[in-house]
Structures are given as structure tokens and as C-alpha cells.
Homo-oligomer: A and B are copies of this chain.
Amino acid sequence: MNRHTDDFPAPDAWHRFHVSYGETDCAGVVYYGEYLHWFERARSRLIRDRGMSYSEVEGRGVLLPVRRAEVRYIRPARYDEEVFVRCAVSAWGRASVTFGYQVWGPPDRSVLLAVGETEHAAIGPDWKPLRIPDWLKALFTV
């Protein structure tokens, strides 16, 4: 059994990289604000893996500004470690969507470093609430 797929929504995507110096702080570990950058890259990756790009989503008139973000930090990540950030849609609202995240670290993405979620309003180019269009929902259906 692969614990990575337990209790995590599908379809998911993985953003994989090595921790850079610029992401660490003087406590010797990754700075807590960097995780939101990682979540964003994993989110973009998910959309790209599904055959679109967030630019195209915007081009179709749907902006998804974050209205809430939460991160739970479990274990620190360190310079040069290989980190895997996983992302999937965890919930749909009428005019919102929530993405869930897991951050896995070495050895071989076996240690859970953090979990989190970001809740996004769906708005139009006029910044007014927009009902989630069917094509967007379909994009994230297995």
C-alpha cells in the first residue's frame, strides 16, 4: 500500500525540486513563507498536467485569487534536499475551489514535512464572483 495515495484526492500532481539556498533562513531550515510559493508551483503543475495552464484559465475569464491559505509545518526541510509537493483539488464551492497540498522530503519522499490548503474565489476580470464553469470542474475530473 502506498501511503502517498491514502486520503488524498485525485487527480493529483507532483512538483519536485531541490531546496535552494535562497529558500532557507538563518535557523538552517526552509523559511515558512516559501511553502506558499511551493504550493503555487504545485498548483500550476496540476493545471498544466491536466492539459491547460493557469494563463489559459485566466484567458477564459476566470481568475482564482487566494482568499485563505493555511500551512501546517511538521518537520523542517533543509538546503539541497529533494522535496516533492503534491497538489489536488480538495473541494468545490459554488464560486470557489480549494486545493490541498502535501510536502514530502527525504529519504525518497517518505517523510511528510507539511500539509496545507489554499481556498480560491472564482472571479471574473471585473473581480466579481463567478460561478465555477463546468469546463473548469471537468478539467480536474479523473
Contact = CB atoms under 8 A, between A and B. Distances in A.
Interface string A18-43: 10111011111101111011001100
Given A40-B20, A44-B20, A73 B78 contact: no
Main secondary structure of the interface of A (DSSP, over half): mixed
Contacts of A33: 22, 33-34, 36-37, 40
The number of times this chain is found in the oligomer is 4
Interface of A: 17-18, 20-22, 24-29, 31-34, 36-37, 40-41, 44-45, 48, 53-55, 63, 65-74, 76, 78-80, 118
20 contacts: A21-B40, A21-B54, A22-B25, A22-B37, A22-B40, A24-B25, A26-B28, A27-B65, A33-B33, A33-B40, A36-B36, A44-B80, A54-B79, A54-B80, A55-B79, A65-B76, A68-B72, A68-B73, A69-B69, A69-B70
